[in-house]
Structure 1
Amino acid sequence: MRQRDVVEAWRKERATIFASALGHPRNLLDSVRRRLILVILIAIMPIASACMLQGVLQLRRTSEETQARLVQSAIAAAGSVQNVFAAAENVLQALKNANDVRNADADCQATLSGANLSVLFSTNISLFGSDGVLRCSALTPNDNVVSDRSWWRESVQAKDFTLSSRMVSPITRNEILIGTLPLFSASGAFDGALSIGINGLWLDNLLKREMAPTAGIISLLDATGREIASNASVASRRMFAGRDLSSYTDHLGEAADDKGTVWSFAVAPLERHGLMVAIARPKDELFRWTTLHVMISFVLPVVMVIFTLVAIWLATDRIVLQWLLYMRRVTAVYAQGHYGFRPTRMHQAPSEFRVLGHAIEDMALAVRERDGKLRESLAEKTGLVREIHHRIKNSLQVVVSLLSLYGSSVPQGEDRRRFEQLRVRVNTLAVVHRIFYEASEGSEVRVRELLREMAVLLEGAADRNVTVVVEADDALTLPTDFAVPLALMVTEIIMTLARHDATSPARLTLDGAIEGGTFILTLTSSEPSDGRLGKADLAHGFASQLGGTVEDVDGENGAVVTVSFPARKAGGERSHAGR
């Protein structure tokens, strides 16, 4: 628990390194750590961007290479199927030159049957007239007229060997493709056509031998996108049915099977018959390493930035901030006046901070020497000022003694009373300078002490029984330049209120306070003033010198005199003080 408290205290102290008015960040970038982070980020951003761009280019290049490989594989796999179509066309080309077939004589069926048996993928070979009526066939069909069939209409309009879409044979009940070769007379007129049934399952098996369905899906499709042959018919229809495959000849496509596996496929047109071949392979297998490389290209810059930020953060703490914090502690010790402190840990700091630490240490030594000289000079000047106050006090006491000596020869009456008042005023100045001489703080005087000295002096100088009570706060102080006019003003007010012609005892109370920057002195007398504090009285003059006013109010229990003037601390300027 103790170790935890030490760590928490260190964290709080570290967090307040910029908490002062001078060190508090003024904006987001007003920090060594943040500026370093910004500079390093700007420096490594081109490298990180280059790595990411390289990953994007690699992905694009790999996609193009994969498409090229798939297309080549598809064309190679479809080559055997194209060979089948070429073989079927060659068979028909050979048969059209046979006279017994061309003339549909008695040997036509035998010739067609022999050709049909010799071709492994053939299901039937037939000869049709120009009107679409069967003239000769290797197998006996159920329907002798095909003029209404779509594949026949296409062959009539074609000039070369054509292939139909995949259909069910009415004879064998197997899926077949019908290859048709149109026949023309010597004059160039359409004279019928030879057709051959190509076994669709045989084509599918041929593609399966070229590529296993688990390795990939390859399909042969016509221009409309209808499947002609495939090594995985169900999956092929799932992927390619309803797609415009002609739009994928220049880039890879993607499709998902029933299990949710994503496949990438490429499409390439074949040279003849308007056919297209499409090949698909699982995307994970094609781009496994490419995805890893691209991820590394993107993740590596991010990791590099994160490690850089962490390194800067820790390095700033260990190399910069901890020494700033240490020097802040050192300067705080020097600020408390402990100039003899030596920063013993600075030898572990980097050279720049060692130079700064030595400079701070030299500055502290210089401040220590100058502080010593200033203290000596201040002590000397304070001694001189105290000596001046002592001599002034002695001189004023000599004057008071002379006034007492010469005043004793003055007859009793008004002149004698004025002579005594003069002696009291001079004695007041002597008392003030004695207080200055005895004061421990040379720039301030305690108001309670000053008023009590005035009370003792005035009680002894009065011609009657006068009691002066001081109730001012003991902690109340005023600058020394306020003491003389304040003491003389109090002397004038008390001598005015304590009438010499009265015989009953008098009681006066002095109370002082500072309210809202104004010093208020209240004198309460047991006797009314009867307007004796006129505007021409000396009390008003001394109050004006202090920048204040004097107000007296007579009540049932006596007079209340209120003196108010602006207060200030020692060394400050008075707001309305008169000169």
Structure 2
Amino acid sequence: MGWVRGEAARARHRERDAIFASAAGHPRHLLDSVRRGLIVVILIAITPIASASMLQGVLQLRRATEEAQHRLLQGAIAGAGSQQNVIASAENVLQALKNVQDVRNGGDECVATLYGATLSLPFASNIALLSADGIVLCSALSPVGTDVSQRPWWLAASKAKAFVLSGRIVSPITRGEVIAGTLPLFGTSGAFEGALSVAIDAGWLDNLLKREAPLTDGVAAVLTAGGAQLVSNAPAISARLFASQNLANYVGQLGETRDDAGRSWSFAVARLDRHELLVAFAQPTDQLFQWTAFHVAVSFILPIFMLAFTIVAIWLATDRMVLQWLLYLRRVTAVYAQGHYGFRPSRMDLAPSEFRVLGNAIEDMASAIRERDGKLREGLAEKTALVREIHHRIKNSLQVVVSLLSLYGSGVRGEEDRRRFDHLRMRVNTLAVVHRILYEANEGSEVRSRELLRELAALLEVAVDRNVLIVVDAEDLALPTDLAVPLALLLTEVVLILADGEAGSPTHMAIRGMEETGMLVLRIDISATLSEELGETRAPLAHGFARQLGGTITTTVTPSGSQVEVRFPPRVKRG
């Protein structure tokens, strides 16, 4: 059963394809189709919705980017707040110490004062007083007289006008990494007199940053304006993320970088209020935009899916709700076109209401046509009967005329008069044969060419005086009744003329009827050679009948005798 249904469905599809592949069903332009028109209209209708959804996705992505940047900046500032406090505390201590006279002059209490200040700062490992030449004059831990004049951090600090921080350096005292914070000292004249320097434990700052900004929240780092990393909660990762970046260019915008594993990180950069420091905070991009990417993808994919689903739905719906019933109505009209007006489209009871109305209208039209066809058939049958009766009566009348001509012709004495009298009788007899064929024809409006030629050949073969053998080899063509009479009379005239030749030997005639290049051709081959062609002078009646047919008569000499050819159109043109 399933196989049968499948075959029926495939047959319907083939029929539908054949209909739409035909000239009448082939769309003339894009919208010349119910299915295509519906698809275009629905697509135009849902395009604003799809565009709004995509625009919403773009706005959501922009908003998510701004929120991510704000979140990273907040994380960076929060993580670096304690660092800024530590650096500010170190600067404040040095500002206070520069006002202590013993410290400023490097007196006897200098070492004790600096040592006490170092102990009061949990992040400081040493505080020292340096001369203008970079010589340690007084220190909490480092030996006096140490020369630091060639160290990079001192060269930078000696040129500064305010508190300055160095990069991460290794302390010769603690053997650990420290950050040197240096405060230049100037005399009343403005000359550089030395500096106070505090060694800030970099490891202590790293641990402080780890507590303030755990690695699970992201990677945070404090860097100098030149990009040197001072503090980080993950020094190895932050060095890889920020080493090749000019972070000053990312202040106020979202940046992106990759780690050694190729993982994408998004970061934000902010400036600290003092000391020209930058703080950067980074998080994995997939973690930062975990749901944003999904929502944006949905905003773009959903309209595309909606458009595709709409096209498929309209395609199937039009096939199921429209084209199926159009094909069924076409089959119904094909049945009606074959004359089966009693057929009732019962399947239309399952169709939508609009198609049911159309089906009922077609059924009513078929009933009206059946009634009118019945009346037309009755009228045609009556007319045909009358026409056949007319042909029958004409044939009987002509037979009476032939009998009278035969009766009175026997009394004609002259040979020439008798021959003309016989020709007249033969012409009338030809008309009687034609009307008899018309009477016996199934279709009153046409006769068969083969039957007409054979009947005439039999009549002429017996009627002519000479020993004539006529053979007919004609195609079975349908001739209108208005061609039958002039054609029969034309053939009679030609055969009579050809049979009246000078030769006394038996004459063979072959009559062929055919259709060539849209013309009807009557070709008569005669075994004898004609003394002259059948022109207007020799065969005036034959040419008159040819003109009545709308054709011409030509005569040619053949190796075996002569040939007469009559060509005329299938229908006579009326002026």
TM range (shorter): over 0.9
- Secondary structure, aligned partner of 2:107: coil
Residue 386 (structure 1) aligns with: 388
In 1, Cα distance between equivalents of 2:168 and 2:558: 131
The answer as to whether partners of 2:398 and 2:428 remain within 8 angstroms in 1 is yes
Give the letter aligned to residue 512 of structure 1: G
Between the two proteins, the alignment pairs up a number of residues equal to: 571
The answer as to whether partners of 2:549 and 2:569 remain within 8 angstroms in 1 is no
The answer as to whether partners of 2:220 and 2:280 remain within 8 angstroms in 1 is yes
Give the letter aligned to residue 61 of structure 1: R
Give the letter aligned to residue 227 of structure 2: G
C-alpha deviations, 1:328-376, integer Å up to 9, x for none?
1111111111111111122222221111111111111111112112212
1:515 maps to 2:503: no
The answer as to whether partners of 1:142 and 1:171 remain within 8 angstroms in 2 is no
In 2, Cα distance between equivalents of 1:53 and 1:578: 74
In 1, Cα distance between equivalents of 2:199 and 2:250: 31
Segment drifting more, 222-231 vs 114-123: 114-123
In 2, Cα distance between equivalents of 1:321 and 1:447: 47
In 2, Cα distance between equivalents of 1:374 and 1:351: 34
Pick the aligned partner of 1:446 from 439, 448, 464: 448
In 2, Cα distance between equivalents of 1:294 and 1:453: 93
Give the letter aligned to residue 458 of structure 1: L
Pick the aligned partner of 1:65 from 39, 56, 67: 67
Residue 249 (structure 1) aligns with: 251
Listed as ranges, the matches of 1:292-441 within 5 Å are: 292-441=294-443
Segment drifting more, 112-121 vs 96-105: 112-121
- Secondary structure, aligned partner of 1:191: strand
Q: CA deviation at 1:548?
A: 2.7
- Secondary structure, aligned partner of 2:196: strand
Q: CA deviation at 1:43?
A: 1.1
Residue 526 (structure 1) aligns with: 527
Residue 478 (structure 1) aligns with: 479
In 2, Cα distance between equivalents of 1:279 and 1:501: 130
Q: CA deviation at 1:272?
A: 0.3
TM-score normalised by L of structure 1? 0.93
Residue 228 (structure 1) aligns with: 230
The answer as to whether partners of 1:530 and 1:554 remain within 8 angstroms in 2 is no
The answer as to whether partners of 2:501 and 2:530 remain within 8 angstroms in 1 is no
1:460 maps to 2:462: yes
- Secondary structure, aligned partner of 2:525: strand
Residue 542 (structure 1) aligns with: 545
TM-score normalised by L of structure 2? 0.94
Give the letter aligned to residue 458 of structure 2: V
Segment drifting more, 181-190 vs 293-302: 181-190
Pick the aligned partner of 1:162 from 161, 164, 168: 164
In 2, Cα distance between equivalents of 1:226 and 1:4: 76
In 2, Cα distance between equivalents of 1:272 and 1:399: 142
Give the letter aligned to residue 110 of structure 1: A
Pick the aligned partner of 1:203 from 205, 223, 226: 205
Q: CA deviation at 1:410?
A: 1.1
- Secondary structure, aligned partner of 2:20: coil
Q: CA deviation at 1:37?
A: 1.2
Give the letter aligned to residue 340 of structure 1: G
Residue 95 (structure 2) aligns with: 93
In 2, Cα distance between equivalents of 1:335 and 1:125: 115
Residue 128 (structure 1) aligns with: 130
| Compared CA separation, residues 555 and 58, structure 1 to 2 (3 A) | closer
Segment drifting more, 9-18 vs 483-492: 9-18
Q: CA deviation at 1:36?
A: 0.9
Q: CA deviation at 1:102?
A: 1.2
| Compared CA separation, residues 502 and 89, structure 1 to 2 (3 A) | closer
The answer as to whether partners of 2:136 and 2:144 remain within 8 angstroms in 1 is no
Across the aligned residues of Structure 1 and Structure 2, the Cα RMSD in angstroms comes to 2.2
- Secondary structure, aligned partner of 1:166: strand
C-alpha deviations, 1:11-59, integer Å up to 9, x for none?
2223334344322212222211111111111111111111111121112
Q: CA deviation at 1:534?
A: 3.8
In 1, Cα distance between equivalents of 2:144 and 2:26: 100
In 1, Cα distance between equivalents of 2:500 and 2:334: 61
Segment drifting more, 184-193 vs 232-241: 184-193
Pick the aligned partner of 2:85 from 80, 83, 86: 83
The answer as to whether partners of 1:463 and 1:500 remain within 8 angstroms in 2 is no
Residue 111 (structure 1) aligns with: 113
Q: CA deviation at 1:275?
A: 0.3
Structure 2: segments with no counterpart, 5+ residues: none
Segment drifting more, 56-65 vs 502-511: 502-511
The answer as to whether partners of 2:98 and 2:104 remain within 8 angstroms in 1 is yes
- Secondary structure, aligned partner of 1:164: strand
The answer as to whether partners of 2:271 and 2:277 remain within 8 angstroms in 1 is yes
Q: CA deviation at 1:211?
A: 2.2
Pick the aligned partner of 2:50 from 25, 48, 51: 48
In 1, Cα distance between equivalents of 2:122 and 2:348: 97
Q: CA deviation at 1:213?
A: 2.4
- Secondary structure, aligned partner of 1:128: strand
- Secondary structure, aligned partner of 2:118: helix
C-alpha deviations, 1:91-148, integer Å up to 9, x for none?
2122222222111122322322232233222222111123333221222359733344
The answer as to whether partners of 1:407 and 1:420 remain within 8 angstroms in 2 is yes
- Secondary structure, aligned partner of 1:483: helix
Pick the aligned partner of 1:291 from 287, 290, 293: 293
- Secondary structure, aligned partner of 2:474: coil
In 2, Cα distance between equivalents of 1:399 and 1:339: 49
* Percent of aligned pairs sharing the same letter: 62
The answer as to whether partners of 1:92 and 1:181 remain within 8 angstroms in 2 is yes
In 2, Cα distance between equivalents of 1:532 and 1:208: 129
- Secondary structure, aligned partner of 2:408: helix
In 1, Cα distance between equivalents of 2:441 and 2:381: 14
Segment drifting more, 513-522 vs 70-79: 513-522
Give the letter aligned to residue 250 of structure 2: Y
The answer as to whether partners of 1:386 and 1:437 remain within 8 angstroms in 2 is yes
